[in-house]
Every structure is written in structure tokens, then in C-alpha cells.
A and B are shown apart, each in its own frame.
Chain A
Amino acid sequence: MSMTTAFSLDPRTKLFLVACLSSCAVITTHWAFLSGLWVVSILLLLVFGISPWDMMKKIRLLLYMVIFIAMMQSIFISAGQALITIGNISLMTTGGLLMAMEFVFRMLIIVCSAGILSTSNSREIIQGLIQLKLPYELAFMASLGIRFIPVFAEELRNTMTAVQLRGIDIRVLPWRQKIEVMTGLFQPVVAGAIIKSRSLAMSIEMRGFRAYPTRSSYLLLKYERKDYVVMICSGLLTAILMFGYFFWFQA
């Protein structure tokens, strides 16, 4: 499949592909199987023309968080052989480490799935969901949510700049004050979001949102042969993988 072919797949096909990948990642619990699945998702990213390296760089903060959670999780699992101990307390065990690896691989697969979806724009994804019979209102809400993520990120950056413009270095404040400032900021940020959503709701109403029971759409998605091929192949492959997993790993 060439890169452009993969890109031009129907968003519903991509959603199906992502559903297959994420289902496998969620259902399975063996690190070796999950690592293989991760390699498959990396290959899929390459087919869709996304550089896995660039993608990992973009989400490195999330990756740090995932690794941190995995390490914390591994501390509380006592199964297996102890690797690090303090007195009688096992801080890290082989069981905990394997669980941490599973968690990391699972998250990486889900992130790669999101990467596949990012090859379609949000409008196409929403139209795909509508044509999959998701109620328009829900699909529209999802699209607004996606649209406003960068807006909120920008607002958060502005808020942090505004704090610094008041001559405050939040890093050097004592913890009590740091928490006070952050919780104090939370209220205007949330209130601002509510005020914005109220204005948005009003402007949507003024444009006649839900004026008629059904909506027509300029963009209409149509399955092509390649979509059917990809869906059948990925469905079959998922079934085989699941069968293989339960046969080999769970037997």
C-alpha cells in the first residue's frame, strides 16, 4: 500500500483499524505479545507516512508520565523475584517490572493508534462517526472538543505568562503558596471556559443549529474497494492474533 493510498482511506476504515489495534492492546496481557503488537503499530505508522520518532518526540512529556506511572505501579506489585529491597520490603520485583512493561507497551500502541487517526482531519473523523450513526450532537461536541484543545493550551500558556508578568516566579514559591496560586488560577480558567462555551452555544443557536430534525452534509464519505480490503484483512488478522494469543500465551 503506498503512502497516499493509506492516507486516502476512509476515516471509518481508520477508525476500524484503530479499534482492532486498541482492542488487542486492551484484551491481551502478555508483554511479549504486546511488544509484537507495538512493532505492528509502528509499521502501520510508517505505512501512513508518520515518522514514529517525530511522534514520540512530540509526546515525550506523556511518555515520561507513562514511564513514571509504570514505575510507581511496579513498586506496589510483590509478585515474582525481588530485584530491589529495603530491609524486608521489596521495592521492585520481576512481576512488577513485567506489569510495568505491559502498561508501557499498551499505552504506546494506543498512542500509535491516535497517530493513525491524525492522518484524517477532525471534520472527516466526525463525518465518519456521523455516518456510523453516532448522533450528530455527540459528534459535533467531539469536534468542538478537538477544535478547542489548542485554544485551551494557548490560554494556559497565556495564564502562565500573565503570572510571570506580575513578577512572580512560581518555581521558587513555597509549596503552600504554589498550591494556592495554582488552585486560584483554576477558578478563572474554568469560569473563562464556561463563559466561552456559553457564547459559543449562543452563536451556534443563532446559526440555526438543530433548526431541522435532520442535517445534510457537504462532505459525504464513501467506502472504496481498498477500504473493504483493509477492513476485512485487519478484522481477520485481529481474530487470528486473538486466537493465537489465547492458544499460545494463555494455554
Chain B
Amino acid sequence: MNREIALELKNLVFSYRPESILIEQMNLALFKGEAAALVGPNGAGKTTLGKLMAGILKPSSGQLIIFGEEGKTLPLHRIAQRVGYCFQNPEHQLLAVSVEDEIAFGLKYRSAGQDHISRVTESLLKLFEIERLRKAFPLNLSWGEKRRVVLAASLALDPEFIILDEPTNGLDDEQIETLNRVLGGLHERGIGVLLISHNQSFVEINAQRILQMEEGKIVNDYCL
């Protein structure tokens, strides 16, 4: 099967400080529509790798190719139109004064029509079972609710690939079940997902490919 590459790293090197290289000569390709999971111990560089792939961090050297374009030179707002990213801490991504404004935020300033914004917002409120919270102030919500709002807001932009950093943190079993359903839906729509997670059962349910990371290197790459 000839699969198209969504995100690709070629000899990528990254370091926060010149004296300590965190990711060294990494080569990796994630494919369109693929559901992959990045697993590994704390401090292995999973979040850093996720942020590099989303264009939030820029590589020190090497190449990051995002849907065929050189990621190093692409501005973040352009990458975000194709690659979504949800931080480990959802509070970093809450920007509006109500849940519905939060979901509509990106679309509103990208000149989407009011009908489209309303339609998308309503469907995401329903999908994530947060309709009753539409007028709530996002920062006052529970951790799990904040996570769902941020994920809904990221999906509102209709990305082709989405990276979720520890998406099950703070979610109860029922909420994880909802998330499983949403991820299943994304997979059916051909949206690629990279899950950064410690939750093994969640990863086994939602990912077909496991990338095991240790000390800044992918030490194991296998399909389930």
C-alpha cells in the first residue's frame, strides 16, 4: 500500500541548550490517517517531539516536513490549519470567556461564515457532551471538562492530523470512553492522530502503531 506521508522528520536534531542535545538525528514518518502513539518514560522527550511535529518548537538542525512543506520556515498559524495540537495542560489553550466562544475562536478570526461557525460549534458541543457548559467560563471547569473543550476547539479547525499530549489525564472512565469514540470517529474520517500517553489500555484501543521513545530516541517502532 502506497501511503502518503503527513509529517516527516529527517535527521532532526533538537536541543534547548547547545550543550545538551535532547533529540539526536531522528528520522521518522507519520502517515495520513494513521493513528500512532508515542510512549516512553517521563523525560524521554515525547512532549518535545510532539511540539516539534506541530511546529511549536523549531528544530536545531535537520528537516521537518509537514504535508510536503518545509516546516522550519512555515509560520505556526499556517501549520495549525493542518496539524492540531493539544497541550498536556489544557489551561494553556483556553482563550475565551465561554465554552462556545472557545470552540468558535479559531473559526471566527479566520473569516468563517456565521452559519458555519454555529454548525461546527453545535456539533462539537454535542460530540463532546458539553452542551450544558456552553456559557460556562472555561477556566472554571473541571480538568476533564477543560480537556474536552480544548480538544473540541482544536477539532473545530478541521485539521488533517492532530497531536494529543496526555489526553486521558484527569478524565474518568466515562470521559475516556467518549474520547475513544471521538478518536474512532476521527480515524473513520481519515484524520491522523499522534497520542502521547502513559495510559496503556487507551493506547491499545486507539493506536495501530506504537513509537517507544527513550532518552530522545525512538527505540521501538511497531504495529499492533
A interface residues with partner B (beta carbon < 8 Å): 155, 158-159, 161-169, 173, 177, 181, 184-185, 187-188, 191-192, 195
Q: Is the CB of B139 within 8 A of A162?
A: no
Q: B residues within 8 A CB of A162?
A: 87, 92-95
| Leading 3 A-B pairs by shortest Cβ distance | A166-B106, A164-B76, A158-B92
Given contacts A161-B56, A188-B138, A191-B137, contact A168 B92 (CB under 8 A): no
Question: Could you tell me the distance in whole angstroms from the C-beta of B66 to the nearest C-beta in chain A?
Answer: 14
Q: B residues within 8 A CB of A155?
A: 92
Question: Could you tell me the distance in whole angstroms from the C-beta of B91 to the nearest C-beta in chain A?
Answer: 7
> B80 contacts which of A165, A184, A192, A195 (Cβ < 8 Å)?
A165
Question: Could you tell me the distance in whole angstroms from the C-beta of A78 to the nearest C-beta in chain B?
Answer: 44
Question: Could you tell me the distance in whole angstroms from the C-beta of B19 to the nearest C-beta in chain A?
Answer: 18
Question: Could you tell me the distance in whole angstroms from the C-beta of A32 to the nearest C-beta in chain B?
Answer: 44
Given contacts A161-B56, A173-B109, A191-B139, contact A166 B80 (CB under 8 A): yes
Q: Is the CB of A168 within 8 A of B56?
A: no
Q: B residues within 8 A CB of A184?
A: 95-97
Q: Main secondary structure on chain A at its contact with chain B?
A: helix
Give complex CA distance A191, B97 in Å: 10
Could you say which interface size class chain B belongs to? 20 to 34
Q: Is the CB of B77 within 8 A of A168?
A: yes
Given contacts A166-B106, A184-B97, A187-B97, contact A192 B91 (CB under 8 A): yes
Give complex CA distance A166, B108 in Å: 10
Q: B residues within 8 A CB of A166?
A: 77, 80, 95, 105-106, 109, 153, 157
Q: B residues within 8 A CB of A185?
A: 95
The proximity string for B residues 52-87 relative to A, scoring 1 for CB distances below 8 Å and 0 otherwise, is 001010000000000000000001111011001101
Give complex CA distance A187, B96 in Å: 8
Q: B residues within 8 A CB of A192?
A: 91, 94, 139
Given contacts A158-B92, A188-B138, A195-B139, contact A168 B110 (CB under 8 A): yes
Q: Is the CB of B84 within 8 A of A165?
A: yes
The reply on B206 being an interface residue by CB < 8 A is: no
Given contacts A158-B92, A161-B76, A165-B76, 4 further A-B contacts (CB under 8 A): A165-B56, A188-B94, A188-B97, A192-B94
The reply on B168 being an interface residue by CB < 8 A is: no
Closest chain A residue, CB of each to CB of B153 = A166
